[in-house]
Amino acid sequence: MKKNFNGWLNIYKEKGETSFSVSKALKKKFKFKKVGHLGTLDPLAKGVLPIAVGEATKSIKFISNLKKRYSFVIKWGEETDTCDLEGEVVEKSNVRPNFEKVKMVVSKFFIGSIEQTPPIYSAVKVNGIRAYKLARNKKNVKLKKKLIHIYKLTVKKPSNKNFCNFDIICSRGTYIRSIARDLARKLGTVGFAHEIVRTEDNIFKIENSISLLKVLDLSYADLEKVYFPIECVLSDAQEIILEKKYSDKLKDGIIINSKLIDKKINSENKLILVKNNSKLVCIANLEKENIIPRRNFNL
């Protein structure tokens, strides 16, 4: 396999690894020039971390399916400054909410669009500085609330009164640690995220993920067996296969009138994947009758 690898890897990030350390290790081992990912995972979180390699990094800004799914565990009775297991306990409570009350509060206050304040130990920037750096230096950190969307939040009946398990489908940018903190407070107690596992991100699922260590043991030839094609994350885009004379024009930045092409194009779907034979040429937008090139792929 050539070293100019282009595609996606569905990495299972282990607890303790960072999104940056995973990307760095892959670049070093396989000499990748460009690496990106769909969303940062906290060091203490584990699970699905989709990694874009080479030309696949160009597709990230066009992805519309940004739903993510997590399973997580809240420990009741303690709140930490990091909202997870790593932090210092800042508040305690003897209150342990019952299962029916948890379900009621979740359905009433934690479904749909809600405002959320990120944890102070997060990568959010305050005047150009990461919030966690300010927090570590004991600076007073005030973060703005942000709008997120929770599509589904399921509570699983606990076997231990001190813990409760959840499954959530949410929008990009949702902090599970903040969900744990805010839900506990709404229930009249305190709590933190004891465990977080990302189980789905876009089309990537935990069942077909592969650990970083296993990937680093692979050869280039073996890597081809576990990668996903660039366009897999753009399943909502329509695909059109054009003759070379038309695909070359788009690649040169020339706008093409869709009436010139003997192809059926869905006018409702504005995002287009342009191919010549099976080769991905560019991403384009359909505006009125015009196909406007947005991003070329050098494959």
Residues designated as active site: 42
Give the SS3 label for residue 5.
coil
CA atoms within 13 Å, Cβ hemisphere of 95: 14
Pairing status of strand 238-241 against strand 271-276: parallel
Q: DSSP state, 111? A: S
In angstroms, the CA 199 to CA 179 distance is: 17
Residue 141 in contact with residue 131, Cβ under 8 Å? yes
Q: Are 48 and 145 in contact (CB under 8 A)?
A: no
Residue carrying structure tokens 């940056």: 20
Distance of alpha carbon 117 from alpha carbon 221, whole angstroms: 45
The span from the first CA to the last CA of the chain, in angstroms, equals 14
CA distances (Å), origin 98, targets 161, 182, 190, 192, 251: 8, 16, 14, 17, 60
CB 283 within 8 A of CB 62: yes
